[in-house]
Amino acid sequence: MPVDLWRYVSGLALALLAVICWTWYPLRNARWLREHPQLRPATWATAMGVATLPLSLVGYLLVCGQLALTQPEFALPFGPRPWVFVSLMIALGLFCSWIGTLCWNEASQRLPTVLVGPLIVFEILAGLAYTFMLRQSWPPLLTCAGIACLMIGVIYAMRIRPEPVVVSVDSKA
């Protein structure tokens, strides 16, 4: 298989996997939090952080290994400005990951799943906003069209109100 075709097919497969993961996560997380009301969302957010930290460290070591092989002049392990790197990683870990997960878990316990699920799209939109701010450019027209489709989809989904399920209790027990 030619390299370009392989990149395209693997990219499609990874995009599909991402959609599956981002569909599954908010639904399963909301269900789990509702099934365990005795646990505080802060406890669950901390547990997720503790569980994912080793994976992050493995990923970091892999990136360091790749940099050592491809760019030996790069100052490992923390780059040319280690205090800036470490400070930013701590800030991202606390403010973006932990507090973001804490807020998401609070919302998952308080809102119906039909509302929580579509709201995960805003994480993607925030990532796009950060990317284009970092690049100091506006998104291309096709990206703007995709953003508009995401927003319209979320607004449409938020308008749908699930009908409550009424279960009759049989008095003959």
Residues 14 and 91 in one domain: yes
Residues 72 and 49 in one domain: yes
Residues 19 and 90 in one domain: yes
45 and 105 in contact (C-beta within 8 Å)? yes
Residue-wise pLDDT tens digits, 108-161: 888 887 777 788 788 889 889 999 999 999 999 999 999 999 899 888 887 877
Q: What is the CA radius of gyration of the chain?
A: 21
Residues 101 and 87 in one domain: yes
Residues 133 and 152 in one domain: yes
Residues 126 and 65 in one domain: no
Sequential DSSP letters for 86-127: HHHHHHIIIIIIIHHHHHHHHHHHHS-HHHHHHHTHHHHHHH
Q: Name the residue range of residue 141's domain.
A: 120-160
Alpha-carbon torsion 142, 146, 147, 148, what sign? positive
Question: Quick check: is 39 in a domain?
Answer: yes
Residues 98 and 152 in one domain: no
**Burial (CB count <10 Å: 0-12, 13-18, 19+), residue 117:** buried
Q: What is the pLDDT of residue 172?
A: 58
Question: Quick check: is 109 in a domain?
Answer: yes
Residues 110 and 125 in one domain: no
Question: Quick check: is 137 in a domain?
Answer: yes
Question: Quick check: is 173 in a domain?
Answer: no
Residues 17 and 49 in one domain: yes
Question: Quick check: is 169 in a domain?
Answer: no
Residue-wise pLDDT tens digits, 5-56: 999 999 999 989 988 988 888 888 888 888 888 888 889 889 888 898 899 9
Q: What is the pLDDT of residue 77?
A: 87
Task: Report yes or no on whether pTM surpasses 0.75.
Answer: no
Q: What share of the chain is helix, strand, coil (3-state, %, to 5)?
A: 75, 0, 25
**Dist CA 99 CA 90 (whole Å):** 12
Q: What is the pLDDT of residue 142?
A: 95
Secondary structure tally for the chain: helices H, strands E: 7, 0
Residues 89 and 127 in one domain: no
Counting the structural domains of the chain, the total is 2
Residues 126 and 113 in one domain: no
Q: What is the DSSP letter of 38?
A: T
- Residue 81 has a CB neighbour count (10 Å cut-off) of 11
